Amino acid sequence: IEMNDRTLRSDRGLFVLTWSGYGVRARDDVIVAETGDGGLSRDFTTVDVNSRHPILRNVTGPLAFFGARSIEVDSSIQPYSAQPLVYTGSQYYGETTYVDYLQLNIELYNPGIDTPRGRLPVIAASENRTTGARVVVIGDGGFAANGEGFLSAPSNTAGFVFPANVQLMMNAVAWLVNADDTQTETFEFPTPGPTATPTPVVTLTPTPEVITTPEVESADETTG
């Protein structure tokens, strides 16, 4: 889990810079929701987005996440303009001791310790009004990883299972380099194929019925 990497903690390294300069940083949590069997699920999809932002232009369909951290956004009056772009559903919260859950199988929502349940930002963007510098923070490395957010079927094709993930990433790159929106292409991806090997269907072949023909006595045996 990336939250345990000391260089990626919210109060150290990279996120000290993104917080002071752009008002965005990842929290030290993992977004989860309780499951019916008493466990926690960290994989989810969402369509709750800030459609007014250029990065979400032409992004339709669910966005998929595979172990995301929530994003803290400073929306106060600052030299930068920071905005959440994508949110979770209201049933999710930020588990701050997710590794303990994995190792000890202890699942408990702790108010005041865990990130409160609600619409948690999972992607955010910010622009410095003075310099024009821009940054995008995505709380999940798997969002744009092959086999997860960029899973395709068949493999190594443009048949993306989550095409909205791909479109958002292309829009994010265009926005970061301040590309002209009117010149940015919109891509269409082919419908993906099956993502798993089909389960073989076993067809039983009926056993041929053995028909016994009664033995017929010969004429010699009858007269003998």
Does a structural domain hold residue 221? no
Total domains in the chain come to 1
Compute CA distances 201 → 175, 188, 197, 198, whole Å. Answer: 49, 34, 12, 9
- State if pTM tops 0.85: no
Most confident of 16-25, 99-108, 187-196: 16-25
Compute CA distances 180 → 32, 77, 81, 133, 183, whole Å. Answer: 37, 27, 20, 16, 5
Distance CA 94, CA 198 (A): 36
What digits encode the pLDDT tens for the residues 174-210? 999 998 766 556 667 767 777 644 444 444 445 556 5
Does a structural domain hold residue 208? no
Does a structural domain hold residue 217? no
What is the CB-side half-sphere exposure of residue 119 using CA atoms within 13 A?
Answer: 10
CB–CB of 55/126 below 8 Å? no
Does a structural domain hold residue 21? yes
Q: What was the pLDDT predicted at 205?
A: 47
Which residue range(s) make up the domain with 76? 2-183
Give residue for tokens 């073989």: 200
Does a structural domain hold residue 86? yes
Does a structural domain hold residue 157? yes
| pLDDT value at 65 more than 60 | yes
- Across the range 45-66, mean pLDDT stands at 95
